[in-house]
């Protein structure tokens, strides 16, 4: 039997996602499913969702980029 040579994204995790990360991922997925394709519209949808940025402030393009960079590290 040949094994799959590709790493599944969840296999690269060092820990389970937090509840906040799950909620953020769900909000982003809903926005993409609704056809959102640019950062300005995504930030607007996140703000409309009621899920604040990690610092508790409304989302901006800048703090979204910062949050994604921190989550990717």
- Give the position of tokens 């060092």: 14
Q: Is residue 4 part of a domain?
A: no
- Closest by alpha carbon to 31, among 10, 73, 59, 3? 59
Q: Is residue 30 part of a domain?
A: yes
Q: Is residue 61 part of a domain?
A: yes
Question: What pTM value is reported for the model?
Answer: 0.80
Distance in angstroms (rounded) separating the CA atoms of residues 67 and 54: 7
Distance in angstroms (rounded) separating the CA atoms of residues 61 and 16: 26
Domain count, the chain: 1
Q: Is residue 9 part of a domain?
A: no
Q: Is residue 43 part of a domain?
A: yes
Q: Is residue 5 part of a domain?
A: no
Spell out the per-residue pLDDT of the chain, length 73, in tens.
556 667 676 666 788 889 999 999 999 999 999 999 999 999 999 999 999 999 999 999 999 999 999 998 8
């Amino acid at each position: 039997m040949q094994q799959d040579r590709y790493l599944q994204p969840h296999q690269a995790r060092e820990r389970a996602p937090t509840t906040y990360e799950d909620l953020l991922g769900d909000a982003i997925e809903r926005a993409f499913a609704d056809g959102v394709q640019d950062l300005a519209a995504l930030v607007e949808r996140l703000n409309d969702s009621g899920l604040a940025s990690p610092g508790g402030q409304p989302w901006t393009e800048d703090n979204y980029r910062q949050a994604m960079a921190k989550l990717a590290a």
